[in-house]
Structure 1
């Protein structure tokens, strides 16, 4: 039986795609139309939200910052209200990662935007930044490029070649965070600056040796901080667009003459950027020192463009998640033959229930990856390997996956055998819970059917479902020669109840 739900519907000529970047300083949305194999931007929206300004040391978010964020998302949502979820991707970054209760904010954010909002790790953020810059300014063949993105709460450093990152890191030093950390009362002085520069420089030392050993042919700055500093340098006639090692100290000296952030008056500096420019210049000067930079050109692209191209790849033949899953299989020595058996069977089951259970192509993809990785925990221990596997999948840096996607993958692996923990799905947003339990049930059955690692195909396999009832039908002759399978199917009735299903194993 062919698997009809294995891959998402490809992007069609004329389709609109939208990418939203929920940054720590500003929110960006870019809308593009797919025409003649290319993405053509049709609209851009940007609002200063300064979310990191409302973050406290305990992970709380001020009411003012949250309201600014939700009001912005509501306006963005109005622009894309007619787009289906599969054509929209909204990603939250450093500040949401730091929240004590990110789920509470995400529920409100999704309601305001009208589309799902995901959180990405710092390293995944770095990958998307590089992807956006690389597509906007394709690097020369064979050359390496360093990309630096100074956000509100963190700074990403990426070395890549062509469209692929080689090294990527996210360090906790951004323009808002550094301004608040080192100049909390707004006062500026050379001593404060020197101490702050030494502190950030020490933190950047964690990557400097590795990055300098790899080397690069050109350095590019992405994000509003670099654009603002470049504009100031041009207005002060310190450079002609690029940011240089000679220009930065002069810019810093001019900035410190103000003695207070409110008094900073630099040519080309907007009122919007004034409260955080000190932290931005500070982080950039530390980066120049740590990496011995001489010159940094400025890109117009950033993470939002990377999200668009990544979204395009997800609906084509260039889904980064497939490559990441393949790499995990190789790294952890997974039995790919057994994984392929489970994958084929779980997709057969999926095809039979996708209609009544309202499952979609993205759900089939998640099942495919879970089937390939369900035995990943065996590298640690056979005892409770499903628990070990879930931990690896939830806490690893897996390129292409958001945190919610990793949590879904981990939940499926955690619940694919033995009793289902009541904590298995607690990390998932409420909107995914029903789907997660249904996918988990399908994976459990597929793994159970292949417990003996037999190569013989399952000729007759039918699954009948309604809202909370599942009936499995197998060839009686096939079942009669497999007493272990019969026992496992009988035992599954209790485990499936914890997922909310009444399971009928079809042994009558």
Structure 2
């Protein structure tokens, strides 16, 4: 249960704009206290090799300074900053992320398109009225479009590589909407319909709700600045009017924000294509979107509703992971970590527990290659609640749970803690025979240049096979920056 008057901040680093939300919970109800937006069009800066243009990156970094004062007032675990499509795609994002985190004073999580869709759905549902019913949520961003079908929780999620900025760059780069030879609006419309093929079932029988800037802008243009329900006949007429224009500058549309104008034609083409391809007749417009979903997710993490824990439990059930062994390894790994670093933070403790719960997930596919396959599954799956770097961290631990230790792939923001790896590996050795075994007399301590593990001679005599594995482990750590020394008590 979320305490009264507890504040959270969500910052969405989108492909078109950056959005900040400061919210507070009052009697279990979220109240928006402050919102801020910077239109940066980050997706404009991606070239054909997916490199982010320096000038566009600098424009985005300059915009981040306005958000820092709000974030500085909150505890670190009450803040979540997420990067979406453009930062997922950018091949040279490391330098931007390093600078952005320095400005904000908070880490940035790059989330998958499916996680983005889940958070959007959560945010929209927070504002949905009436009893539970089947709903389809549509969100058109700068670089991607998310569609989600579900009831109280999402059941089917899709993330498509089309957005108002990326389509503007692709179809309206020079601002021309139609010429004597080419109608760019119609081309964008056809391209969007192609992306939406075979997704008609998402809206079938559901109340359709739209969220975020493009859909709000269309509603305001149609209905005199109001966020009214968008009707099929009205958007048909608007699409025809825009398709007949020669240039984006020629669009005479009251209530169209000047910052939205450069990407409006592309966003409208995608939205109208969605109406046509999914046979939508009416679309409600939600005042909430991903930011509100992030805030609810944050509150859940701190008060017993962490979606990531549910995801891990579902994976264990799906792949029939042995729960007894997962418990043994997890309990021992956490006990060793407590000896090593008594003040380890809660996120690291959770990460180690999840790694222990999932360390044998690959056994469902292969006995000999279970570590490699398990790591691949975790790194590349769509895991609700997890950022991409979190999945990469878990995959690194699973891949290196035994045998020679392979170094992590170096990139900004990914710095695996060797303490977690050591404790997981030792726990896997101690319970290799799938037997409950205590740690009486076993001591693990940090040294200046590594670790020291001390074990009672009596314990080693009772477990000779484990002693041999521990000696191998000592050899494996000799090649690491932190060596492991094993001795008898």
TM-score interval for Structure 1 and Structure 2 normalised by the shorter chain: over 0.9
Please give the per-residue CA displacement for 1:188-230, whole angstroms capped at 9, x wherever unaligned: 127433333222211110422x425xx3431100001111100
| Cα distance in 1, alignment partners of residues 321 and 3 from structure 2 | 36
The count of corresponding residues between Structure 1 and Structure 2 is 486
- Any idea what SS the aligned residue of 1:21 has? strand
Contact 1:221 1:296 in 2 (8 A): yes
Match in the other structure for 2:369: 384
- Any idea what SS the aligned residue of 1:505 has? strand
| Cα distance in 2, alignment partners of residues 59 and 30 from structure 1 | 29
Contact 2:16 2:39 in 1 (8 A): yes
Match in the other structure for 2:74: 83
**Alignment TM-score, normalising by the size of structure 2:** 0.95
Task: Measure how far apart 1:183 and its partner are.
Answer: 2.1
Among candidates 142, 153, 159, match of residue 152 of structure 1: 142
Please give the per-residue CA displacement for 1:108-140, whole angstroms capped at 9, x wherever unaligned: 211111100010000000000000010122552
- Any idea what SS the aligned residue of 1:45 has? strand
Please give the per-residue CA displacement for 1:371-411, whole angstroms capped at 9, x wherever unaligned: 00111122222223212211111111111100011011111
- Any idea what SS the aligned residue of 2:156 has? strand
Aligned-CA RMSD value: 2.0
1:444 aligns with 2:431: no
Task: Measure how far apart 1:64 and its partner are.
Answer: 2.1
Please give the per-residue CA displacement for 1:3-58, whole angstroms capped at 9, x wherever unaligned: xxxxxxx9655432111000111101111234433333221111111111111121
Mapping for residues 145-224 of structure 1, pairs under 5 Å: 145-162=135-152, 164-189=153-178, 191-208=183-200, 210-212=201-203, 215-224=204-213
| Cα distance in 1, alignment partners of residues 104 and 244 from structure 2 | 43
| Cα distance in 2, alignment partners of residues 347 and 32 from structure 1 | 34
Match in the other structure for 2:41: 50
Q: Judge which range, 227-236 or 30-39, deviates more.
A: 30-39
Match in the other structure for 1:5: none
1:412 aligns with 2:404: no
Match in the other structure for 2:121: 130
| Cα distance in 2, alignment partners of residues 291 and 334 from structure 1 | 39
Contact 1:375 1:385 in 2 (8 A): yes
Among candidates 91, 104, 110, match of residue 100 of structure 1: 91
Give 5+ residue unaligned stretches, structure 1: 1-9
Match in the other structure for 1:371: 356
Contact 1:139 1:145 in 2 (8 A): no
Mapping for residues 65-464 of structure 1, pairs under 5 Å: 65-138=56-129, 140-141=131-132, 143-162=133-152, 164-189=153-178, 191-208=183-200, 210-212=201-203, 215-235=204-224, 241-355=228-342, 359-422=344-407, 425-426=408-409, 429-430=412-413, 432-433=414-415, 435-464=416-445
Contact 2:430 2:437 in 1 (8 A): no
| Cα distance in 2, alignment partners of residues 244 and 37 from structure 1 | 34
Q: Judge which range, 53-62 or 22-31, deviates more.
A: 53-62
Task: Measure how far apart 1:149 and its partner are.
Answer: 0.2
